[in-house]
Structure formats: structure tokens, C-alpha cells
Amino acid sequence: MNTLTNGQLNELQASLRGQLLQTNDAGYDSARAVWNAMIDRHPALIARCAGTADVRATLAYARDRGLPLAVRGGGHNIAGSALCDDGLVIDLSGMRSVHIDPQQRRAHVEGGAILHDFDHEAQAFGLATPLGINSTTGVAGLTLGGGFGWLSRTLGLAADNLLAADVVTADGQFLHASATEHPDLFWALRGGGGNFGVVTRFEFQLHPVGPQVTAGLIVFPYAQAKAVLTKYRDFVDGMPDELTVWAVLRKAPPLPFLPPEVHGQDVLVLPVFSPVQSAAMQEAIERIGSFGQPLGMHVGSMPYTAWQQAFDALLTPGARNYWKSHNFTQLSDAAIDTVIRHAGKLPTPQCEIFLGLLGAQASRPAPQDTAYPHRDALYVMNVHTRWDEPADDARCIAWARDFFNDAAPYATGSVYVNFLTDDEGGRTVDAYGVNYPRLARIKQQYDPANLFRANQNICPAA
């Protein structure tokens, strides 16, 4: 990076309400730590912003001095887009305000908020919007990539429920983007990632959900995986919008409803969720349980906030993580066989393969309605490789890549941008498909110098 004088650094700190951290400052190492321990980057400066004025000052400082720039929301992105080497990080993690308007059913959310913050405030009024499956995920990164979770079959994507956003653009403007104000920018924000500016505030549509929902797990032996997944695939075709069932192949965690001898064994888990509590849902759940002979089944009424946190223990920060992902419009017999074969060779007990079910409301918009284009993706598969020791890097990554390559013939070729790792920049065009040319034109309009490039980058149109 350019050498900065003490006077220049003092000038930046004086312009901030928040804290400016340099490499030798106390708290610097914790501030540069992100969820994925594979990411080990050393920014020259980290600006822990306290508000929009800090964001504008920090952005101008980086732009005017030609410094590499990254933007941190929740710090959960697998590729580590929250950090850059030898540059400046705009850290929004102190900006976590969530304001709920229960009468208008609107949520106003700052750019550093995580899902736990959002759910805590919204559920006080029995309201929610579709956001993720892990409560430590950042609202900003999730939404800007499209964002799906347990409510997406019923209510669409996070991006579908975004009503407006406050954005600081590369030239320092503060814009309010919506369907009627800067509509091209608003379109791009709904799936285009962090390519177009720093979003300091999001406005979401809220929906009545909870406080109690129907949710839980059905666990089958690995030996029954082929039969169960085949019945699951056939069941999905007639599944109501109010029901979602994912499929996860992994080693069994020490769940209290499973016999101790099952802990650590290969299993197929079907997480089941519905915002509805009804006899119809119970009938559907009983049918799902009949797909095989479950090792254990624990599904019933629980708080929505508890379900949103149910998988946090399996996704704690500090582990090494590597992902590979495909989209599928269907699960052929050959695809199921491929999943099962590789699930039988998990390199560590923390690894898993999951098939996230979409469809229903998530599939109804046209591909060009938002920057997120993959409305035909019925299943989003993530090969989640997770381990602790650097010595295991090559072995674990090789397993993920082998599975990815073997599954490719049955996939669409498209991919969810939030699941792309740091070595997959070449798949950015696959992440946006038919929408990439328009995104590149909007990038040229709002960020022609590509200041926001510490991401799955969309290059400005020539």
C-alpha cells in the first residue's frame, strides 16, 4: 500500500466517530478475524465505523489514495470478502441497529446486523422475513447475494423482500435506492453482491411468522439414504409452499433424541420446517418419517428464534472451511448415487453435503426481475468441507473438488454467488447468467474504477 504519514492517519481518525485500527494496535487481530479460518489477511487499516458519516469519510480516504478497499458486514462470507491485504477495511460490525415498525410491517436494519439481531427484534412482534439458516450470518452479505433460508418457499428470497436501501457509492454519494429511486441500482443490489456500494441501511418487508413454528429433524441411517432420497425427491413435487424439507448427509451430532451408539455415524438428516402449525403439516411430517426407518425423529412446535439458531453449534467461527456448490433443477437417480457415494467418504466429522430446497415462492419471479437469476434452481447443493488443522487442507479440499466434478453432469452449471470460494472468481458469470451484461453496465455507472472489487467481482462494462 502507499505509505501513509502519521498526519494522514490522524486526519482520518479525526474524521471518524468510530475507531481506526492499525496493525500494531490492540484489538487488530480480533478485528481481522472472520468466520472462515482459512482467510488470513492483513489490512493496513480497519475503520470500525459508527455511522454513515464514518463510511463516507473512510471510503473517500481509500479512494483518494488508491488503497485496496473491503467492506465487512457480518464477516461470514466463505471467500473472505470482508478483508483485503495492505488496504483499508470499512467495518460495519458496530452498526447493528434493527428498528421494527409493526404497523407498517417494515424492518430498518443497519449494515452490520446479523440474523440474530434481526430475529430478536422482529419476533418480539411475531414478524420475520426470509433470512438464512445460521444466526451469526450477516444480513447484508446474505441479502446482497440473494439470500435464502427456511422461509423462502413461503415468502421468497431475502432480496425479494428488500424494499429499499441506503447506499454510499464509490464517488461518495449517499443514495436511497428503491423501485422508484435509482431503480437500476436497486435492481443490482438484489443479488449483485457488494459490487455497487456500501449499504448502510436495509428496509425489508415483514410477514407474520411465529413466535411458534413447526420444525425439527428426522434422522435416517446412511444405509437407507438411496431409498429415502428417492422418496423425498418424489414428495417434493407436490409439497405445499408452507413446508420445506432439506437433505443433509453427515456424521450424526450427539443429538439427545438419538441413541448414543448412533453419534458419529454416517446419517441422512431431513430438517423439516413450516411457519404453519396445523394437522395438515403433521400429516406431511408423518409421511416424511415413513420414507424409511428413522433412527430418531424430533419435530414439533418450537420458537422460530430457536430454529434459526439450531445449527449454530455446527457452524461456529474458527474452523477451516471450503465449499463447492451446484444448482439442480431435479435430482436424477445418478445425482442421488453421486451424493451418497461421496457422503460415504467424508474427510472429517465436521463435513457435510446439504441440498437446500427452494421452489414455490422462490421460483415465481422471472430471472430478470432481480439480479439473482436462478429461479429454476429447485435444489442448491453445498459441499461444506470443515476441519481444524492446516495439515488437512489438501485432503479436505480434494474431496470437495472431486465430488463437485462428479456431480457437475447433473447440475445446471449455475451457482449461488454467496457459496463461491476465493478460488472461484471464474464462476462469477455463472452466478449471474443472463443478468451479467446488465450488471456490468450498472457497475460501469456506479463504480467505473472498480473500487469495490474485494468480492465475486463484476467488472465494469467497457
pTM exceeds 0.85: yes
Residue 272 phi, psi dihedral angles, 5° rounding: -120, 135
DSSP calls for 171-221: TS-EEEEESSSSHHHHHHHTTSTTSS-EEEEEEEE-EE--SEEEEEEEEEE
Q: Whole-angstrom Cα distance, residue 385 to residue 91?
A: 27
Q: Residue 400 has what pLDDT?
A: 97
Residue 16's contacts (CB-CB under 8 Å, 6 or more residues apart) are: 47, 49, 50, 54, 57, 58
215, β-bridge pairs: 273, 300
Q: What region, left, alpha or beta, does residue 127 occupy, with left being phi > 0 and alpha being psi -120 to 50 degrees?
A: beta
Q: Residue 103 has what pLDDT?
A: 97
Q: 3-class SS at 231?
A: helix
Q: Whole-angstrom Cα distance, residue 279 to residue 275?
A: 13
CATH architecture classification, 98-209:
2-Layer Sandwich (3.30)
Comparing CA positions, the residue from 349, 223, 215 lying closest to residue 295 is 223
Q: What is the pLDDT along the chain (462 residues), one digit of tens a residue?
A: 455 667 678 889 999 999 999 999 999 999 999 999 999 999 999 999 999 999 999 999 999 999 999 999 999 999 999 999 999 999 999 999 999 999 999 999 999 999 999 999 999 999 999 999 999 999 999 999 999 999 999 999 999 999 999 999 999 999 999 999 999 999 999 999 999 999 999 999 999 999 999 999 999 999 999 999 999 999 999 999 999 999 999 999 999 999 999 999 999 999 999 999 878 789 999 999 999 999 999 999 999 999 999 999 999 999 999 999 999 999 999 999 999 999 999 999 999 999 999 999 999 999 999 999 999 999 999 999 999 999 999 999 999 999 999 999 999 999 999 999 999 989 999 999 999 999 999 999 999 999 999 999 999 998
Residue 127 phi, psi dihedral angles, 5° rounding: -125, 155
Give CA 257 to chain center in angstroms.
29
Cell of 349: 466429522
With cell 458486514, the residue in question is 73
Q: Residue 229 has what pLDDT?
A: 98
Q: Residue 178 has what pLDDT?
A: 98
Ranges for all domains in the chain classified under CATH 3.30.465.10: 98-209
CATH, range 212-419: 3.40.462.20
Q: Which residues of 167-195 are buried (b: 16+ CB within 10 A; e: fewer)?
A: bbbbeeeebebeeeebeebbbbbbbbbbb
CATH architecture classification, 6-91:
2-Layer Sandwich (3.30)
Would you call 289 exposed, middle or buried from its count of C-beta atoms within 10 A (0-12, 13-18, 19+)?
middle
Q: Which residues of 305-323 are buried (b: 16+ CB within 10 A; e: fewer)?
A: bebbbbeeeebeeebbbbb
